[in-house]
Amino acid sequence: MIGASISRWTMTYFAAALAWLFVALFMMVVGVGYPTADIASPDTLVLVHVTCIGWLSLAMCGALFQFVPVLVAKPLFAEKWALPALALLSVGLLSLLGGFLSLDGRLPTAFWSLPLGAVLLVAGFGLVVVDLGLTAWLRPTGPARFVLVGLACLGVTVVFGSFFAFALSGWAGSFGDTVLASGIPLHAIAGLGGWLTLTAMGVSYRLLAMFMLAPDVDDRQSRVTLAMGAMAVTFAVAGGALAIGLAAGLPIVLSIAALLGLVCAGLYGRDVAGIFRNRKRRQLELNMRMATLSFASLAGAALLGVALVFFDGFTPHVGAFAFLAVFGWLSGLVLAKLYKIVAFLTWLETYGPVMGRAPTPRVQDLVAENRATKWFVVYYAAVWLGTVALLAGEPTAFRVAAAAMTVGVVGIVHEIVRIRRLCDVASPLRLPAGAVPPHLLFARN
Amino acid sequence: MTDYIDVDVRPILRAGGEPFSVIMSALQGLEPGQGLRLYATFKPIPLFAVMEKKGFAHAEQALGGGEWEVLFTPGEPRPEEVAAAGSSFDNWPAPAVTLDNRDLDPPEPMIRILAEADKLGPGETLSAFLRREPVFLFPQLEKRGFRWLGGFTPEGATYELTVRAPS
């Protein structure tokens, strides 16, 4: 069949991802991990992996299971792998977190926990990469190419991570120890820069064009953006690995990669500005207005990075930089797009079967944007305050900001649940004859 | 070594015509074991599924300037599917309705197509112009038993879709 049906487990991934986001917010509010603890402490490792695997990666995988088939107009290679992959990723993450906590004796020492977590995560992400990769490969144009590069970066990230897990358990020999000693920046760059950022960019090209009724970005133009991003990550990872092997030159390699990354971010900004300029839908929906705050956060993170390097403060303030990139740019974008994606998929699932046969509501009838706007504003303002608090070295102010972020996210999630339950659709349009209300946690496709 | 019959539908497409009937009649003229070499001004992705159902594998190659050469090679015949596909894809009548949905906000184009499609008589067709490939529409059409054909016009800005009601 040609075309894209509704992905059955995307809502399940979103729900699991949001649950992990609450875990991460709770940790920041009560002061577990950075900045209360050292940035390399086991507590911080738990916080970072809850955020990057639990929240961002699961949300991204859920979105990709739906949107890669849209990008290539072909069904998923194997829809039935999605749920086992989610189970493997969830159990793998729990095992990994248990392993981190046993590093400083918070849990009974369990040397097998980290490697077991790594193996399960490799299996889970392996299913995702093969499934999405084989699907995207069918028509590797424009955005689908970003996804392919992102998936390759996910593979690299997971390989590095597995090395660390085995090395921390003392099972990887002296080579593993060397990789562990200096490879962490490469793991982070491949994960945040390659997998999450490049994939988010690729998906955003299509989502922005689709929801704003704009022509797609010219393939040649987006190809240059992708090439810069891919070169930045490749240079950082391959050059960095070589530098570690030679025990010299890592800062130079990372500086060049950062420059390439800046060029990529600049080109992406140009591409996105073009989509906004050429849109036919003049009135911007909430998800677009909020996405602009994410783009501002990405630009802010880039400027902050440059400023920190210029004033020789990057290493002590890397936490603030990463926080702004992860919560301002990536998490903000994912939350804004979740708001629209859930509304669109819920609308399609509920009203698709009766469309044209009975009057149906518009997608916008499912959302209450005025109510939702304030929660997004609270969230972004809190993220920016939190960044300032980290830069100023004020852990208490940071915890207050994290509490405000939690308030914003609770509000946003409440709105998303209302969308899924069709709470804001007035009768009699709400359920015309033949329409079935959707399940909260999965789609009946 | 498969022997291929050449079918060049580029002139028809450039003139704004519908090449499907030409392709289908060339297909009916093939000897057993013969393949089809198609020249088109866009990659005819919707045709791939149709040809697959008729038992032809495809291999496409970009010729530059947006033009494509596609080799359809016969594989193992699947008699029952060939018959089913043959009866439903041949001799499509001229569209009973033509919709220009290019300036509608999504998902309005999809709603209009489904509403109009439901009004078609048995075997009738409708044609619609769209801005993008309606990927979410296809499963809905399939569930309702409609067949469709579609592709981007040569300049790439318009997607032309033809939908046929079950007969």
Every domain of chain B and the residues it spans: 4-85, 97-164
The model's confidence at residue B76, banded by pLDDT at 50, 70 and 90, is: low
Contact A1 B138 (CB under 8 A): yes
Tokens 């009768």 correspond to: A427
Whether B23 and B9 have beta carbons less than 8 Å apart is answered as: yes
Kindly state the average pLDDT of the residues A195-200: 96
- Kindly identify which residue of chain B lies nearest to residue A6, measuring between CA atoms: B136
Q: Residue type at B162?
A: T
Contact B131 A363 (CB under 8 A): no
Of A3, A213, A355, the CB nearest to B114: A355
Given this model, what pLDDT does residue B90 score?
59
Chain A: closest CA distance from residue B115 (Å): 4
Same fold, B4-85 and B97-164: yes
Chain A: closest CA distance from residue B138 (Å): 5
- Work out how many CB contacts closer than 8 A connect A with B: 63
Comparing CA positions, the residue from A260, A266, A331 lying closest to residue A28 is: A331
CB neighbour burial string for A394-425, b if at least 16 within 10 angstroms, e if fewer: eeeebbbbbbbbbebbebbbebbebbbebebb
- Kindly identify which residue of chain A lies nearest to residue B158, measuring between CA atoms: A215
Q: Residue type at A216?
A: D
Structure tokens at B92: 């499509």
Q: For residue A210, list chain B residues with Cβ-Cβ distance below 8 A.
A: 106, 132
pLDDT in tens, A68-117: 998 888 889 999 999 999 999 999 999 999 999 998 888 887 778 999 99
Chain A: closest CA distance from residue B14 (Å): 22
**Which helix (H) or strand (E) is A301 found in, with range?**
helix A286-310
**Is residue A145 packed enough to be buried (19+ CB in 10 Å), middle (13-18) or exposed (0-12)?**
buried
> Residue A19: is its pLDDT beyond 90?
yes
Write the CA distances from B125 to A84, B18, B118, B167, integer angstroms: 42, 13, 11, 10
**Is residue A428 packed enough to be buried (19+ CB in 10 Å), middle (13-18) or exposed (0-12)?**
exposed
pLDDT above 90 as % of chain A: 76
> Residue A1: is its pLDDT beyond 60?
no
Residues A401, A265: Cα–Cα separation, whole Å: 27
Partners of residue B37 on adjacent β-strands? B6, B71
Residue A426 touches chain B, beta carbons under 8 Å:
no
The model's confidence at residue B84, banded by pLDDT at 50, 70 and 90, is: very low
- Count CB atoms within 10 A of the CB of residue B117: 24
Chain B interface, Cβ < 8 Å to A: 45-46, 49, 103, 105-107, 110-118, 131-133, 135-140, 142-143, 157
Given this model, what pLDDT does residue A159 score?
94
The model's confidence at residue A398, banded by pLDDT at 50, 70 and 90, is: very high
Residues A19, A234: Cα–Cα separation, whole Å: 33
Given this model, what pLDDT does residue B80 score?
37
Given this model, what pLDDT does residue B56 score?
84
Q: For residue A211, list chain B residues with Cβ-Cβ distance below 8 A.
A: 106
**Residues 73..92 of A with a Cβ closer than 8 Å to B: which?**
73
What homologous superfamily is domain B97-164 in, according to CATH?
TusA-like domain (3.30.110.40)
pLDDT in tens, A134-151: 999 988 888 999 999 999
- Kindly identify which residue of chain B lies nearest to residue A206, measuring between CA atoms: B132
- We find that the CATH architecture of domain B4-85 is 2-Layer Sandwich (3.30)
Structure tokens at A303: 């400027």
Of B114, B118, B135, the CB nearest to A70: B135
CA angle A339/A340/A342 to nearest 5° reads 75
Residues A88, A83: Cα–Cα separation, whole Å: 9
Kindly state the average pLDDT of the residues B160-164: 91
Contact A360 B111 (CB under 8 A): yes
pTM over 0.90: no
Residues B70, B37: Cα–Cα separation, whole Å: 6
CA angle A116/A175/A123 to nearest 5° reads 25
Q: For residue B105, list chain A residues with Cβ-Cβ distance below 8 A.
A: 213, 281
